[in-house]
Structure 1
Amino acid sequence: MNIKRFHAPTAREALAKARMAFGDGTLILSNRPTPNGVEVVATAEESLSALDEPTQVATPPRSAGRLEAATIEERPARNPVHQDTEQLAMSTLSFQDYVRERMLRRRHDALGESDLSDAGRQAQPSEPTPAPRPASAPVQRHNPLKSAPNAAASRVRREPAAAAPATSLAGQKNLMHELQAMKDLIEDRFNTLSWLGQARQNPIQSNLMLKLIRGGYSPALARTILERLPDDLNAAESVRWLMEVLERNLKTDAAMLPLYEQGGTYALVGSTGVGKTTTTAKLAALCARIHGPASVGLITLDTYRVGAHEQLRSYGRMLGIVAHLAHDQAALQDLLGLLSSKKMVLIDTTGVAPRDPRRRDMLDVLDLPEVNRLLVLNAGSHGDTLEDTLVAFKTSGTQQAILTKVDEAVKLGPAVDALIRHQLLLRGVTNGQRVPEDWETADAHALVATSMRSPARSAFDPKASELNFFFSHSPEQPRERGLVDA
């Protein structure tokens, strides 16, 4: 048997030398790396004909141990890689097919198809041992990578390939979702660490942050504002800069006529107990003082609360104004047509909770083109309560609000924070129950200054060392970006 060794710096050059020596029928027996490159052992296909001749001779008896070893060798291996390497020697073309098949298997395993591939391999029947061939017959080598043993095995192999597009698409979606979640988590952690590191390096920024949090402002708004704090300001200048930013972003009607002088049709809406009826009476009294009682019209939609109509009617009698009751939208339209000549028409509505099913019905009654809504907010409410109310009563276009019960609020920070974040136009402030004396125009400077005054220490005030907890798990909300005019 003519077997030769070929040495070359690379495997490609060694294979080329072997093919030059034996032609297209070159068989690669082995290859291994050497200190100088690669060593390839090859022979020609014709040399295998001499190996088939001894198969005609009777096989001498073998011992039990050798027989068991031969049986183990003839048993097909479970690992497809070992099974491929134990087959007959490959030609150069077979070696390329083998590499291509292995790359396809690895790709299927990466896409989660290893189970299907294992099922396909288990369904393939083991190949019988080939019968001895005559010496004169040409050698027919079997390439296990090119054809399947039978139709059933081919069908099993094609099934994973058919299911590959759908499975791979689902796997890619899951992978992209996990990568996006990991990206968001990493960005959140890096932003938090960057902010905390900057706050430690800048004690003025850290003190202002603590002051805002103690005043009732949300961490999201406080962080958005202080990220724009100039570095060249001292402590006093930083406080003035912060108050100017808050005043500039709190929208009021300071450049407009007061609500009771401007006139129009307004419906006061909001949660239960925020002071809608009392505020309606204050606006009616202020308008009647300037333009006379005949210039004011009063309508109430509150048919749920006991005595609600009588309360507004009592205020009307004190002012010389008749209060009307509307049960539905048709009655409201008739009354608005009757009072169309009035300077100001005020509609008192039923107080409903933000998640009350009646809220939608009440807002639908007010869905008229000439009716403007005034959202009444309790200044003493918690920040989350104000947020829930603003989201529930949000309308399209310019949103107007009235801040009530300022005298009862321990901290004005939550109310000012909510007005800034939702960009509401503040039309007035009430600070008591007297009609109409306890009404004030909306003054941004006074509200911000009151909110920044340090109230008495309470158990709800954080310490400087606890600021980390406000940012460790609170990703920045997208709507806060670009909101503050610094």
Structure 2
Amino acid sequence: MQVKRYFAADMRQAMNRVREELGADASIISTRRVAGGVELTAALDYQVQSSVSRPNPALEAELRKTQAQILEAQARLQAQDEDELHGKDRQLLEQVMQRVAPVSAPQNNHHEQAAAFNQHEFAAMRSELNGLRELLEMQLGSMAWGQMRTQQPAQASLWKRFQKMGLTADIVRPVLQKVAAEKDQHKAWRMALAHLTHAIRTPSVEPMQESGVIALVGPAGMGKTTTLAKLAARYVLEHGAQHIALVSMDSYRIGAQEQLKTLGRILNIPVSYVGDGQTLTSVLQPLAHKRIVLIDTAGLPASDPALGLQLESLAARGVQAKNYLVMAATSQGQVLKAAYHAYKRCGLAGCIITKLDEAISMGEALSMAIGHGLPVAYTTDGPKIPDDLQVPRSHQLISRAVRLQSSEEPTEDIMAQMCTGTSLASQYVG
């Protein structure tokens, strides 16, 4: 028996390496997620070892669920025309079946089972099942994309164009469902963009034109302090310096308070700090007569206990702050997603998209704003204060996103991955 271990960024790359080196007859022994990707162990001439174990209801339920999904998928795949199925896809699915079936076979005689699954074994089995499910979803996504290209070429073309804009499948799917009946591709594209424009929310009144406390929140590096400087300078130019004040909650970053103090001196506006032993409420009380108070917060990681205290301060009833999540258009989608879930606890009034001048795509930031119903209050596209600050409109955001779309055609693997979870893919697995 030949056994090899593979490391790759994702399951698709690992499976490609297995097929290249061991061929289509290789069996997948185990899969697990590791730092930087996945680890996959494969073998030739592998014989599944039988084992006895004490029944574990949670494990058996998970096994039966996975087996039922794969069996249902196999039945549906067999119903398709043989011409639509690639040989390697069927071989890989059969390998998955061979791997899961012995493991998930019903164990009728529980009295003969002696060994117990400990917690580590259960976690390893769950990880392996998740890996097998990922393999199945990957194959079904590939088949869904192939079927869409054949049966719905106009929809497939729109999927590609939206992928080049960087939009996620969750945002694209409902938009394309609304234009599915339109056969003219150019008209369908315009209609889709119109629906997408309607999905983006922008404030009816610019936040700085309303009185109150405005806090900018988000991870480090998103451009919070620079954006706050632009907002403050713009307000002073339009309304004067007597009705605005700045507050800093950032006592963690070296030089953060000095930076804000310099800004206050240049604009001739007061700057206050939330120091040790002070509360945000007590710092804001002397500033109650100010029309606008801008708060600069610390960009803390989600794992830092101080973040929870900061967000609780912003959400306090006596503060009544409008909190805006600052998202850099240069950040990856996973980073923006993590930022949203970390900072939503303080209550978000909207978002500000920054660094558009450095971005190669707006899709991920717009997907976050649309998906979570965050109005886009401002955008920034350069270092100039306050010139590089705009109050956006939804059609302007979409137009810019279209201009920034990638010139490269997405690969078949990327489109298959995007189609995973679409209505076509869900026809095969529940």
TMscore range, shorter length: 0.5 to 0.7
Cα 1:355–1:193, aligned 2, differ >3 Å: closer, same or farther?
A: same
Cα 1:371–1:171, aligned 2, differ >3 Å: closer, same or farther?
A: closer
CA distance in 2, matches of 1:240, 1:173: 49
**Cα shift readout 1:159-204 (whole Å, capped 9, x = no counterpart):** xxxxxxxx9xx68776654443344454667787456423422222
**Cα shift readout 1:112-163 (whole Å, capped 9, x = no counterpart):** xxx9xxxxxxxxxxxxxxxxxxxxxxxxxxxxxxxxxxxxxxxxxxxxxxxx
CA distance in 1, matches of 2:59, 2:207: 55
What residue in structure 2 maps to residue 400 of structure 1? 350
- Contact 2:362–2:404, Cα closer than 8 Å, also in 1: no
Residue 181 of structure 1 pairs with residue 66 of structure 2 = yes
CA distance in 2, matches of 1:398, 1:443: 19
CA distance in 2, matches of 1:265, 1:216: 34
**Cα shift readout 1:205-241 (whole Å, capped 9, x = no counterpart):** 1111111112211233323432333323311111111
- Contact 2:355–2:382, Cα closer than 8 Å, also in 1: yes
TM-score scaled to structure 2, two decimals? 0.64
Once the two structures are superposed, the pairs formed by residues 249-328 of structure 1 within 5 Å of their partners are: 249-253=199-203, 256-328=204-276
CA distance in 1, matches of 2:173, 2:68: 21
Once the two structures are superposed, the pairs formed by residues 24-423 of structure 1 within 5 Å of their partners are: 176-185=61-70, 186=72, 193=143, 196-253=146-203, 256-328=204-276, 330-369=278-317, 370-395=320-345, 399-423=349-373
CA distance in 1, matches of 2:280, 2:302: 23
TM-score scaled to structure 1, two decimals? 0.57
% same residue: 28
Please give the secondary structure, in 2, of the residue aligned with 1:304: coil
Q: Which ranges of structure 1 fall in alignment gaps of 5 or more residues?
A: 1-114, 116-166, 478-486
Cα 1:239–1:305, aligned 2, differ >3 Å: closer, same or farther?
A: same
Please give the secondary structure, in 2, of the residue aligned with 1:361: helix
Please give the secondary structure, in 2, of the residue aligned with 1:288: helix
Please give the secondary structure, in 2, of the residue aligned with 1:358: helix
Highest relative contact order (Cα 8 Å, sep 6+), 1 or 2? 2
Report the alpha carbon displacement of residue 381 of structure 1 after superposing the two structures with TM. 0.9
Cα 1:268–1:202, aligned 2, differ >3 Å: closer, same or farther?
A: same
Report the alpha carbon displacement of residue 410 of structure 1 after superposing the two structures with TM. 0.9
**Cα shift readout 1:442-478 (whole Å, capped 9, x = no counterpart):** 21111112212364545xx523x33553157x4469x
CA distance in 2, matches of 1:172, 1:301: 50
- Contact 2:329–2:359, Cα closer than 8 Å, also in 1: yes
- Contact 1:398–1:425, Cα closer than 8 Å, also in 2: no
Cα 1:172–1:228, aligned 2, differ >3 Å: closer, same or farther?
A: farther
CA distance in 1, matches of 2:267, 2:285: 22
Q: Which ranges of structure 2 fall in alignment gaps of 5 or more residues?
A: 1-51, 74-136, 424-430
**Structure 1, 195-204 or 170-179: larger mean CA deviation:** 170-179
Residue 470 of structure 1 pairs with residue 412 of structure 2 = no
What residue in structure 2 maps to residue 158 of structure 1? none
- Contact 1:252–1:427, Cα closer than 8 Å, also in 2: yes
Cα 1:304–1:453, aligned 2, differ >3 Å: closer, same or farther?
A: same
What residue in structure 2 maps to residue 100 of structure 1? none
Once the two structures are superposed, the pairs formed by residues 426-465 of structure 1 within 5 Å of their partners are: 426-453=376-403, 455=405, 457=407, 462-463=410-411, 465=412
Letter in 2 for 1:181: T
Letter in 1 for 2:391: T
CA distance in 1, matches of 2:375, 2:66: 37
Report the alpha carbon displacement of residue 360 of structure 1 after superposing the two structures with TM. 1.9
Report the alpha carbon displacement of residue 377 of structure 1 after superposing the two structures with TM. 0.7
- Contact 2:322–2:348, Cα closer than 8 Å, also in 1: no
CA distance in 1, matches of 2:251, 2:298: 7
CA distance in 2, matches of 1:418, 1:427: 14
- Contact 1:328–1:365, Cα closer than 8 Å, also in 2: no
Please give the secondary structure, in 1, of the residue aligned with 2:330: coil
Please give the secondary structure, in 2, of the residue aligned with 1:406: coil
Please give the secondary structure, in 1, of the residue aligned with 2:345: coil
- Contact 1:329–1:366, Cα closer than 8 Å, also in 2: no
What residue in structure 1 maps to residue 83 of structure 2? none
Report the alpha carbon displacement of residue 355 of structure 1 after superposing the two structures with TM. 3.8
Cα 1:206–1:257, aligned 2, differ >3 Å: closer, same or farther?
A: same
CA distance in 2, matches of 1:425, 1:456: 25
CA distance in 2, matches of 1:330, 1:201: 64
Please give the secondary structure, in 1, of the residue aligned with 2:178: coil
Report the alpha carbon displacement of residue 245 of structure 1 after superposing the two structures with TM. 1.5
RMSD: 2.8
- Contact 2:351–2:375, Cα closer than 8 Å, also in 1: yes
Please give the secondary structure, in 2, of the residue aligned with 1:434: coil
CA distance in 1, matches of 2:236, 2:197: 32
CA distance in 1, matches of 2:273, 2:347: 28
Letter in 2 for 1:421: G
Please give the secondary structure, in 2, of the residue aligned with 1:330: coil
Please give the secondary structure, in 2, of the residue aligned with 1:273: coil
CA distance in 2, matches of 1:306, 1:173: 50
Please give the secondary structure, in 1, of the residue aligned with 2:216: strand
CA distance in 1, matches of 2:217, 2:154: 41
